A = this chain, B = another copy of it.
């Protein structure tokens, strides 16, 4: 039965399914950072646009303000450890691009690298940044995409009662491939 609950942040977590992505960003001097972000949204087909909400105190928003482009990489089965690693360490402290859990490659239209073993990579140019409470919403135009149709999508499905993140994967099929 529906009951009012006044812990609104906890209630946001109960809207548990998230289309998790890696966010890759780069400073003007070429330092690369990678994070995991469940808070992302498709927001236009024409032009193609996608947005991601980033914590204001995080390192990625700083790099994107400096160099207004980013890559969103949709993970696949087998990237759970990479997601845990980039999601549990700050780029302010460690250089995550040096981890052997992450395989980077050159993008086609932005300077920021892609993640070469992901299901999908979206190369994005920033078109708008708005403040939403304790996050920045970074709105990007997708200017190129790389896709591996054989890889299932890995997504975030909440946490176990003990607090461990749960990942699930699903294979989607499309009539035109």
Contacts and interface: CB of A to CB of B under 8 A. Distances in A.
A15 B19 contact: yes
Nearest to A155: B17
Interface in A10-26: 10-19, 21
A158 interface: yes
A121 to B, nearest CB: 7
Contact of A43 (B44, B118, B137, B142): B137
A158 B170 contact: yes
A145 interface: yes
Contact of A51 (B8, B10, B137): B137
Contact of A11 (B12, B14, B142): B142
A66 to B, nearest CB: 22
Given A44-B133, A130-B128, A172 B139 contact: no
Copies of this protein in the complex: 2
27 contacts: A1-B150, A2-B121, A4-B146, A8-B143, A8-B144, A9-B46, A9-B48, A11-B145, A11-B147, A12-B42, A14-B147, A15-B120, A15-B122, A16-B170, A16-B172, A17-B19, A17-B153, A17-B155, A39-B42, A40-B41, A43-B132, A43-B135, A128-B132, A130-B139, A157-B172, A161-B174, A162-B175
Interface of A: 1-5, 8-19, 21, 38-51, 53, 74, 108, 114, 116, 118-122, 127-128, 130, 132-135, 137, 139, 141-150, 153, 155, 157-163, 166, 168, 170, 172-176
